[in-house]
């Protein structure tokens, strides 16, 4: 019996191409991709205002590692169908979830992009790239956006404006002078299970022209805290590549919650610098959250109203590329809470009490494929 021919699969190739060159079908592509990102951290928090001590821990942390499939199919002219299935992958625990991250199906053409699925809101995605430590323990989500939720519907997480939304429908307009309008609606599917018909509405105007990126974003959480009360967030962002090795970015954000006990508001600022030094780059981030204001007596996410409820966060580190896909990095990040503030890391929290200052030192490695 003749031996079967051997088929060689080159492991370094991560893209599978299916070419259907007939009059009935356009070209279809499927791409396998991912990011493996983990670090060893030494983390601790100072003594809280009430004398509570959290202590210290050495831990391996996962920074939202992912693997996924994405593809598109030409449907004639400029129209094409696109899809993506992105899944969680935890290197430290071996856990994961199919389609636990950005996953969608949609159409794109001359009139823009329309898609449905499970995806970052326009408000979130508009400034993610401004933070060189997104999405690690040091990410700006500790202060900007009031925490971070990797996946939520309209009732699971009612505080965070940095979120991936379930059951979201989005539209992104074609570029006009380098500017695009992004719109998203978190469908009110919980109407049948809670007596307040919650929904999410998110928008961002994003300009990306050469070295300059600028955005204004706005999001409304309809009936999140209670029936008849909406929360909203507004932010402005600006990033600029000054020289080939220098990039600066800044974000201003205003959050406003309307609770059963009254209004709760807060302003926050963030700035970052990425500066090439030798082969690698130094990365600095600084965030400031003002005191919460308003009549509400509730704590929403990481902040509340009153004196001494503000905080700052600063992060400094260095990243060294071993190749175009692989990098080593290190950083130190610290949140300095005022005596009544309870800000903690948005990812890999330490579980602090008011007035404690969480901090972490990390040595990590990242590979993209």
Per-residue pLDDT at 284: 98
Instruction: Report pLDDT for 11.
Output: 40
Closest residue by Cα to residue 149 from 166, 130, 126, 132? 166
Q: How far apart are the first and last CA of the chain?
A: 40
For 17-76, the DSSP string reads EE---SSS---EEEEEEEEEEEEEEEEEEPPPTTS---EEEEEEEE---EEEEEEEEE-S
Give the count of beta carbons closer than 10 Å to the beta carbon of residue 367: 15
Domains of the chain: which residue ranges?
39-368
- pTM comes to 0.91
Predicted local distance difference test score (pLDDT) of residue 95: 87
pLDDT tens for residues 73-123?
999 999 999 999 999 988 888 888 999 999 999 999 999 999 999 999 999
- Taking only the tens place, the pLDDT of each residue in 128-178 is 999 999 999 999 999 999 999 999 999 999 999 999 999 999 999 999 999
pLDDT value of residue 92: 87
pLDDT < 70: residue spans in the chain: 1-26
- Can you give the pLDDT at residue 21? 40
d(CA 136, CA 134): 5
Beta carbons of 37 and 364 less than 8 angstroms apart? yes
CATH for the 39-368 domain, from 3.30.750.24, 2.40.160.10, 3.90.1300.10, 1.10.10.10: 2.40.160.10
């Amino acid at each position: 019996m003749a031996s079967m021919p051997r088929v060689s699969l080159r492991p370094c190739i991560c893209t599978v191409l299916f070419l259907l060159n007939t009059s009935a079908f356009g070209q279809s592509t499927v791409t396998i991709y991912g990011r493996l990102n983990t670090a060893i951290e030494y983390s601790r928090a100072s003594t809280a205002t009430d004398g509570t001590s959290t202590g210290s821990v050495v831990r391996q942390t996962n920074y939202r590692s992912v693997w996924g499939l994405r593809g598109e199919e030409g449907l004639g002219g400029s129209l094409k169908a696109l899809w993506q299935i992105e899944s969680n992958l935890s290197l430290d625990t071996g856990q994961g979830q199919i389609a636990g991250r950005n996953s969608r199906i949609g159409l794109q053409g001359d009139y823009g992009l329309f898609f449905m699925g499970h995806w970052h809101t326009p408000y979130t995605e508009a400034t993610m790239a401004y933070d060189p430590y997104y999405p690690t323990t040091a990410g700006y989500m500790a202060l900007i956006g009031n925490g971070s939720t990797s996946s939520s519907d309209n009732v699971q997480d009612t505080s965070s404006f940095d979120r991936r939304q379930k059951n979201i429908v989005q539209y992104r307009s074609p570029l006009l002078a380098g500017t695009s309008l992004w719109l998203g609606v978190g469908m009110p599917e919980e109407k049948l299970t809670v007596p307040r018909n919650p929904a999410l509405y998110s928008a961002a105007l994003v300009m990306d022209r050469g070295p300059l990126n600028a955005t204004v974003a706005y999001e409304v959480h309809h009936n999140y805290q209670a029936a008849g009360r909406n929360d909203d967030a507004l932010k402005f962002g600006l990033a600029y590549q000054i020289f080939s090795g220098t990039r600066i970015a800044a974000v201003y954000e205003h959050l406003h919650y309307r609770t059963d006990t009254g209004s709760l508001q807060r302003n926050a600022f963030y700035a970052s610098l990425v500066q090439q030094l030798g082969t690698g780059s130094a990365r600095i981030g600084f965030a400031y959250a003002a005191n919460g204001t308003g009549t509400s007596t509730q704590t929403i996410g990481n902040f509340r109203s009153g004196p001494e409820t503000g905080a700052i966060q600063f992060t400094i580190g260095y990243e060294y590329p071993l190749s175009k896909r692989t990098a080593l990095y290190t950083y130190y990040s610290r949140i300095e809470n005022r005596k009544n503030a309870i800000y903690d890391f948005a990812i890999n929290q330490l579980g602090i009490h008011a007035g404690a200052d969480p901090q972490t030192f990390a040595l990590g490695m990242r590979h993209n494929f």
